[in-house]
């Protein structure tokens, strides 16, 4: 969801992997805002992440 194909060097990436629960998350952050996410497995946070992207919330403090 969002911009996951960006190759901009100013975009940060956070990867979270839990092999025991078969969960993989990759978040794309630019200018303190979440711009994209790849979510595989059971991800209860998808709607919250989508809201952060839509509202352009500054996630730098998290």
Instruction: Determine contact, residues 36/52, Cβ cutoff 8 Å.
Output: no
- Mark out the alpha helices in the chain (DSSP H runs): 46-55
For residue 39, give both structure tokens. 């979510």
Q: What is the pTM of this model?
A: 0.85
User: With 80 as the cut, is the pLDDT of residue 6 above it?
Assistant: no
Banded pLDDT at 8 (limits 50, 70, 90): confident
Q: What is the pLDDT of residue 59?
A: 92
Closest CA to 29 of 15, 48, 43: 15
pLDDT tens per residue, range 19-57: 999 999 999 999 999 999 999 997 788 999 999 999 999
């Amino acid at each position: 969801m969002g911009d996951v194909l960006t190759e901009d060097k100013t975009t940060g990436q956070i990867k979270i992997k839990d092999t025991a629960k078969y969960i993989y998350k990759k978040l794309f952050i630019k200018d303190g805002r979440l711009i994209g996410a790849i979510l595989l497995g059971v991800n209860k946070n998808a709607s919250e992440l989508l809201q952060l992207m839509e509202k352009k919330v500054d996630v730098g403090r998290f």
